[in-house]
Amino acid sequence: METIKGKYILIAGATGGIGSETARLLAASGAHLFLTGRNASKLAEVAASCKLDGNAFHACDLSKPGEIAGLKEKYFSAYPAIDTLINTAGIGVIKTTDQLSEEEFLTTLMTNLYAPYALLRAFLPAMKEQKKGLVIQVPGVLGKVPMAGAAAYSASKYGLVGMMQSIREELKRTEIRFTNLFLGGVDSTFWDHIDLRVQRDKMITAAEAAKTIWYLCQQPQSGVISELVLQPFNHQAI
Ligand SMILES: NC(=O)c1ccc[n+]([C@@H]2O[C@H](COP(=O)([O-])OP(=O)(O)OC[C@H]3O[C@@H](n4cnc5c(N)ncnc54)[C@H](OP(=O)(O)O)[C@@H]3O)[C@@H](O)[C@H]2O)c1
């Protein structure tokens, strides 16, 4: 199994429910963490809870072309390499097509599809140089099974899955692993902005979702977990 101790790990979406729990678990396992999120004060709080100094986090809006250049610069001035990229940044807009605005559609694509692309564009070259690395994306089960009212979200997550499959083909002769984590409902701040009747107490906890990512960071050295599905007992879509 791969070890976490001493690994250089970037977590995008570290201010979120899943990302912040993951950060704390990986910090406790001895990783060299670098965190990013949009909300600067929340990011500083999460970084402090992981005992990181000011060089190991950087706030930016990943949906905006150009902002990732600053993240890359700050990351590589803190650390010499990147072993693992965990992308837990994302938004959920769950609306029927007649309620969904063009702006919401585009923002969803920019956050859930463009941002993962831009992160890979910034950090894959270093992994290619090392000929080794691990990328974990979180498409969610709506990136595998569509749901009514999720046209924008599913488009972004299906796009993410397609993009990752293509990049996996591109790099299959390297030791860079690509893992898609398909999560069902996770009780996190994600649902605070979604106008839908859901049973949050029946969802997976953010802490359990984070433990799954922690486990994925330690996948077998001779193989790859290309995908993993974790969904609540009472709502199994797959
Ligand atoms: N919760 C679920 O039920 C569920 C299920 C399946 C898949 N997922 C996926 O899992 C991932 C994490 O979800 P979560 O539950 O942890 O959600 P969350 O608590 O809402 O956290 C989302 C994270 O994404 C960041 N983010 C959003 N827009 C961003 C932007 N433009 N630039 C940079 N960062 C941005 C947020 O940063 P700020 O807070 O700093 O703005 C936050 O760190 C998402 O990709 C989501 O689609 C979630």
Of 165, 163, 166, the closest CA to residue 113 belongs to 163
pTM above 0.85, yes or no: yes
**DSSP 8-state symbol, 134:** E
Helices (DSSP H) in the chain: which residue ranges? Answer: 17-28, 40-49, 67-78, 102-109, 115-130, 151-170, 206-216
- Give the binding-site residues of ligand 1, using a 6 Å CB cut-off: 13, 15-19, 37-39, 42, 61-63, 88-92, 111, 138, 140, 183, 185-186, 188-190
Calculate the average pLDDT of the chain.
96
- The widest CA-to-CA distance across the chain, in whole angstroms, is 49
Which of 20, 67, 106, 138 to mutate to test ligand 1, by most ligand atoms within 8 A of the CB atom?
138
CATH architecture of 8-230: 3-Layer(aba) Sandwich (3.40)
Looking at this protein, which amino acid is placed at residue 197? R
User: In sequence order, which residues have a C-beta less than 8 Å from that of residue 91 and are 6 or more positions away?
Assistant: 107, 108, 111, 112, 190, 193
Task: Please write the tens of the pLDDT for every residue from 14-71.
Answer: 999 999 999 999 999 999 999 999 999 999 999 999 999 999 999 999 999 999 999 9
In this structure, the dihedral spanned by the alpha carbons of residues 217, 218, 221 and 222, taken in order and rounded to 10 degrees, is: -90
Task: Please write the tens of the pLDDT for every residue from 147-183.
Answer: 999 999 999 999 999 999 999 999 998 999 999 999 9
Q: Is 94 left (phi over 0), alpha (psi -120 to 50) or beta?
A: beta
Of 42, 149, 49, the closest CA to residue 89 belongs to 42
